[in-house]
């Protein structure tokens, strides 16, 4: 591990950093030194900030957290249609139901990407948006911030140029004809289908 001063660290890390009380005392000494330097210099356009050399500065060990792997999408995801499902694995019957749903809206399983709830645990909405989906259909409860969106079930909701449709879990829809009807009406709206 490399040891660097706090002033050098500030030039490397752009995210918020929380200092311990003893670090704050050292940081205020450096800030006072930096202000004194600024007061002596003529007022011109601000120059790029240079690290302040301070041999007495306490050394800090930097430990970088490992980056999470990208969200894994099953399927080709050719048309930017993302399907999020609460089931860990989709049974053959559920896959048949899902395939029929996708075919009914004039798409194929090659057009969609599938992501299980477990793949989204600990991920941000930004990471989900970074996938580039144009339409996201969420089946069931997902362990993710997407559940906090103010999208009513079975109604199309748009945010950040992405259309969302929230519905019950696929296993519930498979067993309930009324839920299938509600889903079909919502899908017609989402995919602009008139039948």
Say what the pLDDT of residue 12 is: 64
Say what the pLDDT of residue 121 is: 85
Say what the pLDDT of residue 64 is: 58
Query: 104 near 184, Cβ under 8 Å?
Result: yes
Say what the pLDDT of residue 70 is: 85
Say what the pLDDT of residue 31 is: 52
Q: Got the DSSP string for 142-189?
A: -SSGGGGS-PPBTSEEEETTEEEEEE--HHHHHH-HHHHHHHHHHHHH
Chain mean position to CA 85 = 16
Most confidently predicted of 9-13, 21-25, 41-45, 95-99: 95-99
Q: What is the pTM of this model?
A: 0.65
What's the CATH code, domain 81-190? 3.40.470.10
Q: Is residue 135 exposed (0-12), middle (13-18) or buried (19+ Cβ within 10 Å)?
A: buried
Kindly compute the dihedral angle of the four CA atoms of residues 12, 17, 21, 27, in this order, to the nearest 10 degrees: 30
pLDDT band at residue 25 under the 50/70/90 scheme:
low
* Residue range 110-137, pLDDT digits in tens: 999 999 999 998 898 899 999 999 999 9
* Residue range 130-170, pLDDT digits in tens: 999 999 999 999 888 898 899 999 999 999 899 999 999 99
For residue 74, the 8-state DSSP code is B
Average pLDDT estimate for 87-112: 95
Say what the pLDDT of residue 188 is: 96
Average pLDDT of the residues of the chain: 80
Instruction: Decide the pairing of beta strands 60-61 and 3-4.
Output: antiparallel
CATH 3.40.470.10 intervals, the chain? 81-190
């Amino acid at each position: 591990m490399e040891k660097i001063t706090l002033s050098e660290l500030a030039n490397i890390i752009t995210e918020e950093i929380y200092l311990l009380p003893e670090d704050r005392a050292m940081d205020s000494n450096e800030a006072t030194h930096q202000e004194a330097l600024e007061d002596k210099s003529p007022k011109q356009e601000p120059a790029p900030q240079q690290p302040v050399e301070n041999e007495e500065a306490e050394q800090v060990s930097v430990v970088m957290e490992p980056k999470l792997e990208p969200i894994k999408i099953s399927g080709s995801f050719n048309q930017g249609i993302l399907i999020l499902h609460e089931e860990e694995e989709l049974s053959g019957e559920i896959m048949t139901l899902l395939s029929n749903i996708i075919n009914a809206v004039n798409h194929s399983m090659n057009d969609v990407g599938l992501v299980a709830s477990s793949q989204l645990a600990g991920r941000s909405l930004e990471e989900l948006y970074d996938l580039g989906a144009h339409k996201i259909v969420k089946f069931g409860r997902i362990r993710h911030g997407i559940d906090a969106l103010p999208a009513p079930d079975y109604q199309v909701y748009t945010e950040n140029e992405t259309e969302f449709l929230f519905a019950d879990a696929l296993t519930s829809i498979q067993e309930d004809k009324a839920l299938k009807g509600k889903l079909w009406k919502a899908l017609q709206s989402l995919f602009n289908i008139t039948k």
